[in-house]
Amino acid sequence: MTERHLNHSETLSNGCRIKVRSEILRDGSLKMFIGIYKPDGSVIVEDNDLAPDGLDMEDAFEWGIDRAQKIGNGQKVQ
């Protein structure tokens, strides 16, 4: 049986933190959350429902992690 949700948290080399969640709702739709935070915890991006159409939960999850890493790694932090 496939998990109904997947979670990923990671601290990037520049100190930014990312959180990604992919979840199948009761109606069968896919909900996504991508959060990207500076080392001090302030929000860079928090966004829901971002997954491109046509992706299953696992592919959307991988897409979300990749997107969060690219945005987080692109931040200049002190």
Query: H-helix or E-strand containing 73?
Result: helix 57-73
Is the Cα torsion angle 4, 62, 67, 69 positive or negative in sign? Answer: positive
Per-residue confidence (pLDDT) for residue 1, from 0 to 100: 42
Per-residue confidence (pLDDT) for residue 55, from 0 to 100: 86
The model's pTM is 0.87
pLDDT tens-digit readout, 56-65: 889 999 999 9
77 vs 38: CA distance, rounded Å? 7
Q: How far is CA 52 from CA 32, 49, 64, 65, in A?
A: 10, 9, 10, 13
Per-residue confidence (pLDDT) for residue 50, from 0 to 100: 67
pLDDT tens-digit readout, 3-60: 589 999 999 999 999 999 999 888 888 889 999 999 999 999 999 866 777 888 899 9
